[in-house]
Amino acid sequence: MARLWAKIIVRHRIARQDTAPCTLDGAQAALTELCREFDIPNPLWLGKHEREFQEFRHTSFLPEHFMEDVPFDRLEIEFLDDENKKRRSKDPRNQFDGF
């Protein structure tokens, strides 16, 4: 089972956090549920967030990504895969050739 981990950051500290079950494609629905639980408005899901989430499974929302004022510095979300599958970088600079 996979989860979405959401953290509200205030002054570089986690003020509140929680997880919700989700799939990689269902992250926006899980984020809506977590925002309801945190009692905060839903952020705008922009192309930047989609790209970061697909590539890194992590993205963050700043106060300007909300239609209303929010009392925190940022909202971070991260996809947690409980199957512990290790992901490898596709960047050739990160490949180990051995000695």
Q: What is the mean pLDDT of the chain?
A: 91
pLDDT in tens, 37-81: 999 999 999 999 999 999 999 999 999 999 999 999 999 999 998
Residue in 86, 72, 92 with CA at minimum distance from that of residue 17: 72
Q: What is the CA radius of gyration of the chain?
A: 15
Q: What pLDDT does residue 85 have?
A: 63
Cβ partners under 8 Å of residue 57, min gap 6: 24, 78, 79, 81
Confidence of residue 93 (pLDDT cuts 50, 70, 90): confident
Distances (CA, A) of 30 to 12, 86, 87, 96: 24, 23, 23, 36
Helix H or strand E segment including 55: helix 47-56
